[in-house]
Structure formats: structure tokens, C-alpha cells
Amino acid sequence: SGHEVGCHGDLHQRFDKLGWDQAKDSVVRGTETLEALLNRRPTSFRAPNLQMPTEYMELLENTGYRVDSSIAAYKPPFHRRPFYTGPMLRVPATITSSVLRLPLPLLKSCFKLLPSQPVFFLHPWELVDLSEEQIRLDCRLGTGDRLAENLSYLMDYYKGRGTRFITMQDLYEKQTQVRRDMSAGR
């Protein structure tokens, strides 16, 4: 159903290292910047390094977010499915963008380990070839064409398995309807 731009804060700072006021400022500024650029308010959030303290969910809720994907399915406590923290839908990320940048034969071997409905993410900058840049090695390896080709392969692979691609907003609406139906005893 297309793509969705979510917020990541404004300066790529780890939220588990920020105090409440700094975290609030980062969420508000990042949200306002995206809203100005997109002409709509983002409703999904993912903190840098997948580090968002649970107590900061209130910041996201108060800023209009419905979905947070700042947790990793592959890190303790190993959440595998979406769940709620209050009204906030928490969606564990299945695979990181650095895995998506592996050489394709290695990436293919990882597919067998992934669930039938994976949640993956990437950063737009990773689609630019940064192999010659003087930045951390893990930030430049596999960027550009390799990631684009791997992403295309990954999408074809899952389409071939009948997977339907949806946005976080679509998932939120679906999960919230299920939650309402269950509360009503349907």
C-alpha cells in the first residue's frame, strides 16, 4: 500500500541517553520538521538504535504518534509480535538495515530465519553509495546499488510467498479494529 515516512527524532540521539526535556524537544522538533516537509503529521516513530525507554511512550502519544517501532525482535525481551503499551502500538523490527546491506548470498541465507511477516526498515541515506566516504565502516558497507538490489530481491521474495506489504498506519488501523472487536466480545 505504498510507503510511509516515520519520525526518528531530530538529531539522531539515543533516547535512552536523553532526559525527559531533551527527548521531548527531539520528538517535537523532528515531528514539526517532517510535518512541514510532508504537509501531514507523521504517526509512526522509531528511535535511533532502537532505544526508546517505555516511560517515553507518553511523549509520543502526546505528539500524536500511534505506532512505535523502537524495539527489536532479536533483542531481549524478544518481542515477536505487535503489542500495546497503553494506546501505543509497539511493532518489533525483525531485521535491521545493516543486514539488508549484506552480500546477497548471505542475505538469502537469513531469509529462512525470518517470520512470514517481517518488519524491516532502512534509512534513505543507505540508498546512496557511501563506500568511499570517510565514515564508520558499518555505515558505508553495502550502501547504494547493493541495498537497492537486495531490497528489490527481498520484496520479490516475499511477494512470491503471498505476503502483503502494508504501512505502519495500515497495521495500526487493523490491530486497533481487532482490539475493539475483542473488547466488544466479537
Task: Spell out the domains of the chain, with CATH numbers in brackets.
Answer: 15-183 (3.20.20.370)
Q: What is the DSSP string of 6-32?
A: -B--SS---GGGS-HHHHHHHHHHHHH
- Residue 2 is predicted with a pLDDT of 67
**pLDDT, one tens digit for every residue, the chain (186 residues):** 567 889 999 998 999 999 999 999 999 999 999 999 999 999 999 999 999 999 999 999 999 999 999 999 988 889 989 999 889 999 999 988 888 999 999 988 888 788 778 888 888 899 999 999 999 998 899 999 999 999 999 889 989 988 888 999 999 999 988 888 888 877
The torsion defined by the Cα of 20, 9, 107 and 170, in degrees rounded to 10, comes to: 100
DSSP characters over 166-182 = --HHHHHHHHHHHHHHH
**pLDDT computed for residue 114 by the predictor:** 81
Give 113-161 pLDDT, tens digit per residue.
887 788 888 888 999 999 999 999 988 999 999 999 999 998 899 899 8
Indicate the pTM of the whole model. 0.86
pLDDT at 170: 92
